[in-house]
């Protein structure tokens, strides 16, 4: 276990920004307190922590490639591309972006870097083929989906957000989130969409889309919760889980956020300044999780976590 190296006064970095809640922050807090500290506090004290935070594991990388391609599509097009154009987008994602990212990661520059390259983890050809398959299938299924078709049919004037980083408050908790896509259909109802490149529901998917719905209500997109729908779009499968929002679900989500934020704030040394100490955020004893953590070399500078 090592402490974060403190910078000299000449190298002093600004402290963390004001506290804000997000689902990714909650997920990190619940998975490992030490990882949480590095991600949201240590990153402002040490450049090596900041570098390690940016590492991307293979599945996460595939998801980013898909999200980037769909974001560009939605921000640059006013109608669904032709079949020929769709295949060109798929090829560009695989043969241009993924190849460029891979070469940059292998070079060891300060730019894009894979976890597997940082920790000298072998990547088999089958793993590479699987990633390419995930990206290609996800994009092709997105192009075929009623969700994307419905967005273009509704028209850009009815789009409410495309990958915009937004903030609002739940009680006294500032919340930050980024929605993949939200638009108003021709019946006036709002559909909030989250693209997924995994095959199964994550631990906090329901809380994630409920948070989106809370923002939609706070922003006045709808007058009542029942005019909101959320969709988890599992593009690889493909499977589209669409749910009707209720007022009760929104209140439950608000309570979840306030309770989660209270747990995080309880460990701060200075709540107003959002300051924390490393020693108040202990390591976990789960070697399997530690082996896949970006900060592994900080917690285990002499080698791998012990088997368990």
Residues 103 and 204 in one domain: no
Looking at residue 237, the DSSP 8-state letter turns out to be: T
Q: Are 176 and 212 in contact (CB under 8 A)?
A: no
Residues 197 and 249 in one domain: yes
The C-alpha angle with vertex 213 and arms to 209 and 154, in degrees rounded to 5, equals 95
Residues 119 and 191 in one domain: no
On whether residue 37 sits in a domain, the answer given is: no
Which whole number is the average pLDDT over 196-225? 85
**Is the predicted pLDDT of residue 55 greater than 90, yes or no?**
yes
Q: For residue range 270-308, list pLDDT tens digits in order.
A: 999 999 999 999 999 999 999 999 999 999 998 777 654
pLDDT at position 1: 37
Would you place residue 120 in the very low, low, confident or very high pLDDT band (cuts 50, 70, 90)? very high
| Three-state DSSP class for residue 171 | coil
Residues 120 and 173 in one domain: no
* Entry pTM: 0.90
Which whole number is the average pLDDT over 35-59? 97
Q: Give the separation between CA 104 and CA 109, rounded to whole angstroms.
A: 7
Q: Are 162 and 181 in contact (CB under 8 A)?
A: yes
CA distances from 241 to 121, 201, 232 (A): 35, 10, 5
pLDDT at position 307: 58
**Lowest-pLDDT range of 8-22, 79-93, 233-247:** 8-22
Would you place residue 60 in the very low, low, confident or very high pLDDT band (cuts 50, 70, 90)? very high
Domain boundary among 117, 144, 171: 144
Domain boundary among 144, 161, 190: 144
Which CATH number characterizes residue 229's domain? 3.40.1350
On whether residue 41 sits in a domain, the answer given is: no
CA distances from 14 to 54, 249, 273 (A): 19, 38, 12
How many distinct structural domains can be found in the chain?
2
On whether residue 303 sits in a domain, the answer given is: no
Domain that holds residue 102: 58-144
Residues 216 and 180 in one domain: yes
Would you place residue 13 in the very low, low, confident or very high pLDDT band (cuts 50, 70, 90)? low
pLDDT at position 12: 52
Share of the chain above pLDDT 90, in %: 82
Domain boundary among 99, 120, 144: 144
On whether residue 29 sits in a domain, the answer given is: no
**Lowest-pLDDT range of 13-17, 95-99, 189-193, 258-262:** 13-17
Q: For residue range 238-267, list pLDDT tens digits in order.
A: 999 999 999 998 999 999 999 999 999 999
Q: Are 276 and 268 in contact (CB under 8 A)?
A: yes
User: Smallest Cα–Cα separation from 83: which of 150, 135, 154, 140?
Assistant: 140
**Is the predicted pLDDT of residue 7 greater than 60, yes or no?**
no
On whether residue 139 sits in a domain, the answer given is: yes
Which whole number is the average pLDDT over 143-162? 96
User: Smallest Cα–Cα separation from 45: which of 16, 85, 75, 22?
Assistant: 16
């Amino acid at each position: 276990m090592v402490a974060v190296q403190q910078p000299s006064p000449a190298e002093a970095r600004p402290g963390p920004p004001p506290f804000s809640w997000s689902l990714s922050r909650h997920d990190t807090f619940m998975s490992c307190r030490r990882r949480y500290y590095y991600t949201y506090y240590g990153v402002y004290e040490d450049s090596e922590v900041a570098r390690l935070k940016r590492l991307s594991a293979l599945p996460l990388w595939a998801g980013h490639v898909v999200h980037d391609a769909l974001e560009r599509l939605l921000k640059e097009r006013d109608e669904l591309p032709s079949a020929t154009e769709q295949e060109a987008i798929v090829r560009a994602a695989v043969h241009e972006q993924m190849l460029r990212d891979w070469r940059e990661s292998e070079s060891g520059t300060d730019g894009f870097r894979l976890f597997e390259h940082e920790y000298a983890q072998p990547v088999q050809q089958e793993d590479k083929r699987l990633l390419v398959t995930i990206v290609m299938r996800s994009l092709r299924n997105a192009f075929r989906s009623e969700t994307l078709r419905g967005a273009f049919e509704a028209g850009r004037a009815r789009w409410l957000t495309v990958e915009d980083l937004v903030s609002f408050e739940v009680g006294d908790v500032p919340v930050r989130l980024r929605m993949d896509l939200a638009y108003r259909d021709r019946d006036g109802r709002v559909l909030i969409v989250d693209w997924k490149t995994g095959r199964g529901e994550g631990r906090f998917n329901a809380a994630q889309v409920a948070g989106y719905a809370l923002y939609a209500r706070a922003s006045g997109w709808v007058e009542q919760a029942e005019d909101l729908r959320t969709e988890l779009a599992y593009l690889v499968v493909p499977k589209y889980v669409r749910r009707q929002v209720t007022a009760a679900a929104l209140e439950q989500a608000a309570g979840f956020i306030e309770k989660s934020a209270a747990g995080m704030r309880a460990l701060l040394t200075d709540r107003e300044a959002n300051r924390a100490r490393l020693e108040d955020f202990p390591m976990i004893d789960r070697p399997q999780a530690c082996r896949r953590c970006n900060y592994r070399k900080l917690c285990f500078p002499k080698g791998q976590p012990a088997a368990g």
